[in-house]
Amino acid sequence: QVQLVESGGGSVQAGGSLRLSCTASGYNFSGACMGWFRQGPGEEREGVARIDPDGTPMYADSVKGRFTISKDNTKTTLYLEMNSLKPEDTALYYCAAKPTVWPHCSGAYLQKSPFWGQGTRVTVSS
């Protein structure tokens, strides 16, 4: 079955960096739309970054220039490099995956995925 396991969360001070990982199994990793979402305290879940099967990245405006999404098809692992962290980045971060036959996908497509990790918590203090 599909499994997504996030790791790498933690507590950092503002301006610091973290690297999240999502190790995946149970589906065609290289042929899937994948991404990171987050849910802060009292907030709705929001998309952070997405990477299409062909490797094209997309970012939410709030993280552009600070976060980098990447994937390693040989390790079936998705990454999120987070730099210049701000207190408002504090949230539970989830990875999601949805197989597709197309080289590109959309955030709406990924949001409807039935495959989600359990989340990893990121806390940024000021």
Average model confidence (pLDDT) across the chain: 96
pLDDT (average), residues 83-97? 98
Q: At 17, is the pLDDT very low, low, confident or very high (cuts 50, 70, 90)?
A: very high
CB atoms within 10 A of CB 66: 15
Residues 76-84 have a mean pLDDT of 98
**Helix or strand holding residue 77 (H, E):** strand 77-82
**Per residue in 21-37, is it b (16+ CB within 10 Å) or e — as a string?**
bbbbeebebeebbbbbb
Of all residues in the chain, what percent carry a pLDDT higher than 70? 100
What pLDDT does 95 receive? Answer: 97
